[in-house]
Structure 1
Amino acid sequence: MKKFLFALAVLPLSLAAVPTTQKGIEASFADVGLQVSSIADSPVPGLFQVFTDRGLFFASKDGRYLVEGQVFDLQNKTMVNDKIMAGMRKSGVEQLKASAIEFKAPNEKHVVTVFTDTSCGYCRKLHTELKTYLDAGITVRYLAFPRGGIESETYSELESIWCADNKQEAMTRAKSGEMIAAKSCQNNVAEQYKMGASFGIQGTPAIVLPDGSIIPGYQPAQQLLATMVSKGL
């Protein structure tokens, strides 16, 4: 039998009747401000894995307890959360790749997805070094993650970038500190932000690798390349 180590918080979902269905669990999560997108059996006996707008949680099968935190598989020496979330991230960024702003490497060997914010210092640093990533064969796909949320000034700026006639140029100008013309259109900026939040992203840049694993912060091109090579990506 697999053994698991929990470093987490266990909270009772409600003092009312315990939900016995997935709809009941969704309702109980909603009571504590979490919007459920999917519920499935987890690798941990007795727990559901619950994917929400604020990341991954677990719930007891009787629906009484919400479990927040890292679960470590003592037998396989792996973080259960990481494996589950990697699959979620991989499929999620694939769904949004058509709306990403892509800077394609001429000799593409790897593709990374970067959740970015134009007001973020390390996002700007990564972008000023973009040529080193492209020269290393790393294609960069940007998705929007305005850290101040969808009511922020940065959200409006990112929306203008995604609505620009030349999105790559607009991104480069904005990250150079230039003002860009305000523009609105039908776009996926809010959807990208919400997906990033559901991945548990809180800061930028956040680099999603091809296997769905994540690097929470800036990483120079050669270090990023070495990371992917070491993973066999």
Structure 2
Amino acid sequence: MKTWLSILTLSLMTLSAAHADIQTLEQNLKTKYPEIPVKSVHSTPVKDMYEVYMGGRIVYTNEDAQYFFVGNLIDLKQQQNLTEVREQILNRIDVKSLPLEQAIKHVKGNGERVIYLFSDPDCPYCQHLEKELKNINNVTIYLFLYPITRLHPNAATVADQIWCSKDPYKTWQDYTVDKKQPAKVKTCKTPIEKNIQLAKKLEIDGTPTFFLKDGSRISGARDASEIELLLKAVK
């Protein structure tokens, strides 16, 4: 009985100390970097090193918050990228909250799988992703037009033309895959500005970025084979 009590007492003391260290770190972060919003602080398997999620990325530091490590924390024995696992968890969103009326809907096959895509028509990586998506079947794609004009000055105009066309997704594919300019159409009310604000809210800082049915965030262009594996992994 004494042994179990000793173990329990030691565990509680360790937990209390860890909690105290996190509180110290949180206070130091607020004091030293008040302009940077910190979303969460967690312990790691490494003694005296903590995971800090801020600015849409994970960094590592100790309770002093003086020096930071940026990179991947790897568990070699388990062959696991711990940083990547945590990022997938922290970057998830509630896809049910997405305003789908601001997206172009495209259904292929039975449409049972879902991709929520934020993409810029003039982004080369977005164009590559679109070529790969043509090889994916049985999927519903919700395309949120998200022109990043600081990189592609003409993208907003193109996005407006795509949205206002008779067949927006075909016009999108014609432009991104076949390099066919959208036909001139009568201007209409578009959700482009709302999409830009939504992307900022979701901390999407690059295109393409897409989300899966479980809210997982995938950044950058992926090949069709990798997209298939990602879709199969989602329950």
**d(CA) in 2 for partners of 1:61, 1:167:** 55
> Contact (CA 8 Å) 2:144, 2:195: kept in 1 or not?
no
SS across alignment from 1:113: strand
Q: d(CA) in 2 for partners of 1:119 and 1:54?
A: 24
Distance in 2 (CA, whole Å) between partners of 1:94 and 1:162 is 25
Pairing 1:177–2:181 present: yes
Aligned CA distance change for structure 1 residues 177 and 87 (closer, same or farther; 3 Å): farther
Q: Deviations over 1:127-173 (max 9, x none)?
A: 4675543xx11222334554554x86256347747975979357457
Alignment map for 1:22-41 (pairs within 5 Å) = 22=26, 24-26=28-30, 28-29=32-33, 35-41=36-42
Q: Is the 8 A contact 1:159 1:189 kept in 2?
A: no
Residue identity over aligned pairs, in percent, reads: 16
Higher helix share: 2
1:137-176 matches, within 5 Å, as: 137-147=138-148, 149=150, 153=153, 156-157=156-157, 160=160, 164=164, 168-169=168-169, 171=172, 175=176, 176=180
Aligned residue for 2:71, secondary structure, equals strand
Alpha-carbon deviation of 1:69?
0.8
Coordinate RMSD, CA, aligned: 4.0
Query: Where does 1:49-198 land on structure 2 (aligned, <5 Å)?
Result: 49-91=51-93, 95-96=97-98, 98=100, 99-127=102-130, 132-133=135-136, 136-147=137-148, 149=150, 153=153, 156-157=156-157, 160=160, 164=164, 168-169=168-169, 171=172, 175=176, 176-178=180-182, 181=187, 187-193=194-200, 195-197=203-205
Structure 1 residues 25 and 147 mapped into 2: Cα distance closer, same or farther (>3 Å)?
Answer: same
Contact 1:116 1:145 in 2 (8 A): yes
5+ residue gaps, structure 1, are 1-18
TM-score, with normalisation over the residues of structure 1?
Answer: 0.63
State the structure with more CA Rg.
Answer: 2
Task: Give the direction of change, closer, same or farther, for the CA distance of 1:232–1:96 in structure 2 (3 Å limit).
Answer: closer
SS of the aligned residue for 2:98 comes to: helix
- Secondary structure, aligned partner of 1:49: strand
Distance 2:30 2:162 in 1: 33
Cα distance per residue 1:51-86 (max 9 Å; x no partner): 233422223223222221111123432111111111
Counterpart of 1:16? none
Distance 1:184 1:107, change over 3 A: closer
Q: Secondary structure of the equivalent of 1:46?
A: coil
What is the CA–CA distance in structure 2 between the aligned matches of 1:110 and 1:51, rounded to whole Å?
30
TM-score, reference length from structure 2? 0.62
SS at match of 2:69: strand
Structure 2 CA distance for aligned equivalents of residues 166 and 55 of structure 1: 40
